[in-house]
Amino acid sequence: MDQRDVVREGYDEIASTYAEKRDGNGRERTLVESLAAALPDGSRVLDAGCGAGTPAMEVLADQHDTIGLDISAEQLRTARDTVDSDGLVRGDLATLPFADDTFEPLSPTTPSSTFQRTNTPLSFPNLSACSGPAGNSWPR
């Protein structure tokens, strides 16, 4: 079992507790609300490491075409209770399943410690490629 499997299985195991304890309010929601207000309506946004879908997916999805990506099937199951399931994709941040220039800015809510635990370099070139020519990300 490699480190990515350990992380995936760990997030699968804690999915319900994670959603209960992390209500998506506070500073993170404020940042996402700022992002949502700054984007033109209908922007295509990637929530990289969306987990249970809060707060980024639930805030951004009202006005934007938002895709949530997560490695954990259980986190995505939990997210389906909160957000439109058409916008949820299971995948690995190290090997994004999207073409270059697919998204406007990124909303990376996955802690960098996840990348450290998986010995995966924080894949900003990969994330930047799929987020358009400017390689936008939030917060700035």
The domains of the chain are located at: 3-130
Chain position carrying tokens 């954990």: 72
Q: What is the pLDDT of residue 93?
A: 82
Alpha helices in the chain (DSSP H): 3-21, 27-38, 56-60, 73-79, 112-117, 124-130
CA nearest to 35, candidates 106, 101, 109: 106
Lowest mean pLDDT among 67-71, 94-98, 120-124: 120-124
Q: What is the pLDDT of residue 117?
A: 41
pLDDT band at 1 (very low <50, low <70, confident <90, very high): confident
Q: What is the pLDDT of residue 122?
A: 40
Q: What is the pLDDT of residue 73?
A: 96
pTM, rounded to two decimals: 0.75
pLDDT band at 75 (very low <50, low <70, confident <90, very high): very high
Q: What is the pLDDT of residue 19?
A: 81
Tell me which architecture the domain covering 3-130 has in CATH. Answer: 3-Layer(aba) Sandwich (3.40)
Lowest mean pLDDT among 54-58, 59-63, 128-132: 128-132
